[in-house]
């Protein structure tokens, strides 16, 4: 396609008929105004057919009365006319687009999952894992993992599976699994020891089954035996060891805290953004251009459309953006130290879990440098350091 043809296509061209006794003067006047006329065909003495650009139609209409010519549009070509035809058939186009979307959604929605060869308990476990992978009926198959990846994940995450095949057939998944044959499923009957998970000083021991090997105030290393399932030394009388060994452990926490804190205040201005979610695909609908160059705090609100237990793969997501203004304020070194201890305690509690208890903390280092406070803390913790280690054949 030549440059001229491309320009005519995007700008639009018209095939028109000119009637009158002053056709030649009329056309000469149009050319003097900058009009480009092509494919002129003289029908008779008072009638001619030609091609002009859509942008020159205004010039022709302005001069037609002066030269007493009649203009008729025979044909319109190019993108502007195609667009006009489409917009004149809005209902038809909307129905066509809607049908395309519906067919696309139906063809790319997972409708069923069939699992064979497994016990009901293991089958339920497989279904639960599939949901965590984003594979469940009613969801879009676009963006889902490949069947080979799903197979690998299931074998890694479910130790009871010896093998499982995953096949995608149309809009359904078919799985066939083989369960491992387990000779010793009750781990509580297997001989075992209790060993130290980490270094610490013993504070309290409570051994329900087995023979204790440590006492209070003993300092143990990681991996050291705390209790054994060998009830009598030098004899093969082995049991499963159970119990707890509470030890004093130590954790060092380093923090760099800014002297100047920023307080974010909401000024009440709210901007809303809307998105359409089709499976894992997200399409912006409105408001994505809002908030550029400003700082916002966002809150998400998402629909959850369900009909008779079937979850629609299409959801509407509304994001509320609240404009915030940051206010800086300086804090004293003592206040920053208090905040540092609180945040360090919270982080350590999350890491340790509910059974561990932080007894006390000690500030090892506190120094201000480059607008920040460097804080090093030592925490003393009482926690259960005993973990089970099974005794294998030949120990």
Three-state secondary structure along the chain?
A: CCHHHHHHHHHCEEEEEEECCCHHHHHHHHHHCCCCCEEEEEEECCEEEEEEEHHHHHHHHHHHCCCCCEEEEEEEECHHHHHHHHHCCHHHHHHHHHHHHHHHHHHCECCEEEEECCCHHHHHHHHHHHHHCCCCCCCECCCCCCHHHHHHHHHHHCCCEEEEEEEEECCEEEEEEEECCCCCCCHHHCCEEEEECCCEEEEEEEEEECEECCCCCCEECCCCEEEECECCCCCCCECCCEEEEEEEEEEEEEEEEECEEEEEEEEEEEEEEEEEEECCEEEEEECCCCCCCCCEEEEEEECCCEECCEECCEEEEEEEEEEEEEEEEECCHHHHHHHHHHHHHHHHHHHHCCCCEEEEEEEEEEEEECCEEEEEEEEEEEEECEEEEECCCCC
Same domain, yes or no: 162 and 23: no
Q: Do 296 and 307 fall within a single domain?
A: yes
Same domain? 266 vs 315 = yes
Any domain includes 191: no
Per the structure, the count of domains in the chain is: 4
Residue 68: domain span: 3-84
Residue 394 lies in a domain: yes
359 & 246 share domain: yes
- Same domain flag for 363 and 215: yes
Q: Is residue 323 located within the same domain as residue 382?
A: no
- Does any domain span residue 195? no
Pair 80, 15 in one domain: yes
**What pLDDT, on the 0 to 100 scale, is given for residue 395?**
44
- State the pLDDT at residue 269: 67
Q: Is residue 76 part of a domain?
A: yes
In terms of domains, do 352 and 376 share one?
yes
pTM exceeds 0.85: no
Confidence at residue 236, expressed as pLDDT on a 0 to 100 scale: 73
Residue 96 lies in a domain: no
Q: Are residues 129 and 16 in the same domain?
A: no
The answer to whether residue 93 sits within a structural domain is: no
254 lies in the same domain as 340:
yes
- Residue 103 inside a domain? The answer is no
What is the pLDDT tens value at each position of the chain, 395 positions in all? 456 666 777 788 889 999 998 889 899 999 998 888 888 898 888 899 999 988 888 889 888 888 889 999 898 888 887 777 776 677 777 777 888 888 888 888 888 899 988 888 888 999 999 989 888 888 888 878 888 899 999 998 988 888 888 998 888 889 988 887 655 545 557 888 999 999 999 999 998 888 899 999 999 999 999 998 888 776 677 888 899 999 999 999 888 877 766 656 666 667 778 888 877 777 787 776 655 555 667 778 877 777 666 677 778 888 877 777 666 656 777 787 888 888 888 888 888 878 899 999 998 888 887 778 888 899 999 999 999 998 875 54
In this structure, are 293 and 248 located in the same domain? no
CATH of the domain at 116: 3.10.20.310
Which among 327, 358, 383 is the end of a domain?
327
């Amino acid at each position: 396609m030549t440059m001229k043809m491309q320009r005519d296509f995007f700008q639009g061209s018209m095939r028109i008929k000119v009637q009158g006794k002053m056709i030649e003067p009329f056309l000469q006047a149009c050319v003097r105004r900058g009009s480009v006329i092509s494919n002129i065909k003289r029908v008779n003495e008072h009638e001619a057919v030609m091609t002009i650009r859509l942008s020159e139609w205004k010039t022709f209409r302005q001069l037609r009365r002066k030269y007493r010519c009649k203009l008729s549009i025979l044909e319109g070509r190019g993108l502007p006319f195609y667009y006009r035809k489409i917009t004149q058939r809005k209902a038809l186009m909307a129905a066509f687009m809607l049908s395309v979307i519906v067919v696309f959604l139906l063809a790319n929605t997972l409708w069923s999952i069939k699992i064979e060869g497994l016990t009901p308990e293991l089958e339920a476990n497989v279904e639960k894992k599939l949901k965590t992978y984003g594979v469940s009926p009613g969801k879009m198959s676009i963006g889902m993992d490949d069947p080979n990846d799903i197979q690998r994940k299931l074998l890694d995450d479910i130790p009871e599976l010896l093998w499982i095949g995953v096949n995608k057939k149309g809009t359904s998944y078919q799985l066939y699994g083989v369960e491992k044959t387990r000779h010793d499923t009750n781990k509580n009957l297997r001989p075992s020891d209790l060993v130290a998970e980490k270094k610490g000083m013993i504070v309290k021991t409570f051994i329900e089954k087995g023979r204790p090997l440590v006492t209070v105030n003993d300092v143990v290393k990681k991996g050291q035996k705390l209790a054994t399932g060998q009830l009598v030394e030098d004899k093969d009388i082995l049991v499963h060891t159970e119990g707890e060994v509470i030890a004093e452990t130590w954790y060092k926490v380093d923090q760099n805290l800014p002297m100047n804190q920023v307080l974010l205040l909401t000024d009440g201005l709210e901007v809303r953004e809307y998105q359409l979610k089709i499976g894992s695909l997200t399409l912006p609908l409105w408001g994505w251009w809002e908030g550029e160059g400003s700082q916002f705090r966002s809150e998400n609100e998402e629909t959850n459309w369900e009909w008779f237990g079937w979850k629609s793969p299409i959801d509407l997501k509304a994001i509320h953006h609240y404009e915030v203004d940051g206010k800086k304020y300086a804090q004293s070194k003592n206040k920053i130290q208090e905040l540092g201890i609180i945040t360090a305690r919270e982080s350590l509690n999350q890491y340790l879990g509910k059974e561990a208890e932080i007894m006390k903390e000690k500030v090892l280092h506190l120094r201000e440098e480059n607008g920040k406070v460097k804080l090093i803390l030592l925490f003393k913790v009482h926690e259960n350091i005993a973990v089970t280690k099974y005794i294998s054949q030949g120990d």
